[in-house]
Amino acid sequence: MKKAVVFGYGNVGKAVINALNDTEDLKLAGIVSRSCAGRTIDGVPVVADDKELGVYDVAILALPSREVPAKAAELLNRGIPTADSFDIHGEIPALRKSLDAAAKKGGAAAVISAGWDPGSDSVIRTMMLAMAPRGISYTNFGPGMSMGHSVAVKAIDGVKDSLSMTIPMGQGIHRRMVYVELEDGADFDAVAKAIKADAYFVHDETHVQAVPSVRALKDMGHGVHLERKGVSGTANNQYFSFDMKIDNPALTGQILVCAARAALRSQPGCYTMIEIPTVDFLEMDRDEAVKLLV
């Protein structure tokens, strides 16, 4: 059984721990969280620095996306495989390139952007493209809470708490409804301007509203509807559709555990989920998977 250390103890970190406790090939060996350091959670120590935990096999980064590049590079340079759910789509190619160099230098593998989108949805989009090489795909999120967007808003000066809801308008177009609980004395107009200028929101119609309590509004459910209409060979009007409604942190945590498993099975380098054999995400071995799933 391999030892996994979880970095972060927010919603996703807790979900990762739940998923680890429900698997047999990976074992929770410790949690890294400055705010909770000194405690024991689920029978393991919580520390401020992972070096306090001794030797372990893989790091699962349940951190805000903007903290991932530096932490992943540090761990990979030390030879520790990593899995993360970095979700800023436009920055993934550059991150993949930079972490690939660190991973090969340290002799470890990194699986990046391993959530459900980017992540498992990316794998489904890849298969849809393979099945109909010519055509148009649409990804319609929600309605539901976007964790990455909500965390990005909470990091803005003057914001005490935040909820970013993704509302699907159809054909891959989305509206962002952002609810903010402000710090005392914060300037709402300045906060709203900063939100709309952030990379998470700049490409979408975004509405910001101040509320007395974000907690009263929060529901971590989310979902997606993937569609592709295209051509297989010379046959037109091929249509594929995929739907899911999910608990956002729970699915992200489960996929991160699968990605950590895949990182341990991969050669040194940095990978997105579409580059990894799907069987490597499974707890079962390859022969068992072929017998059951093919």
Domain spans of the chain, in order of start: 2-116+248-293, 134-232
Residue 279 is predicted with a pLDDT of: 98
Please state, in angstroms and rounded to a whole number, the distance separating the CA atoms of residues 69 and 95.
Answer: 7
Q: Bridge-partner residues for 56, per DSSP?
A: none
Peptide bond before 143: cis, by omega within 30 degrees of 0? yes
**Do the two domains 2-116+248-293 and 134-232 of this chain adopt the same fold?**
no
Residue 252 is predicted with a pLDDT of: 98
* Beta strand spans in the chain (E): 2-7, 26-32, 40-41, 44-47, 58-61, 82-84, 109-111, 134-141, 144-145, 159-170, 173-182, 205-210, 221-232, 235-247, 269-271
> pLDDT of 35-65, one tens digit each?
999 999 999 999 999 999 999 999 999 999 9
Q: Are 23 and 29 in contact (CB under 8 A)?
A: no
Token pair listed for 77: 């340079």
Residue 158 is predicted with a pLDDT of: 98
Q: Whole-prediction pTM value? A: 0.94
Residue 190 is predicted with a pLDDT of: 98
Residue recorded with tokens 């295209």: 230
Residue recorded with tokens 């992943």: 72
Close Cβ partners of 41 (under 8 Å, ≥ 6 residues apart):
9, 17, 31
Structural domain 134-232, CATH architecture = 2-Layer Sandwich (3.30)
Residue 114 is predicted with a pLDDT of: 98
Identify residue 216 by its one-letter amino acid code.
Answer: A
Neighbours of 63 (CB within 10 A): 23
pLDDT tens track, the chain, 294 positions: 999 999 999 999 999 999 999 999 999 999 999 999 999 999 999 999 999 999 999 999 999 999 999 999 999 999 999 999 999 999 999 999 999 999 999 999 999 999 999 999 999 999 999 999 999 999 999 999 999 999 999 999 999 999 999 999 999 999 999 999 999 999 999 999 999 999 999 999 999 999 999 999 999 999 999 999 999 999 999 999 999 999 999 999 999 999 999 999 999 999 999 999 999 999 999 999 999 999
Instruction: Give the 3-state secondary structure of residue 175.
Output: strand
CATH of domain 2-116+248-293: 3.40.50.720
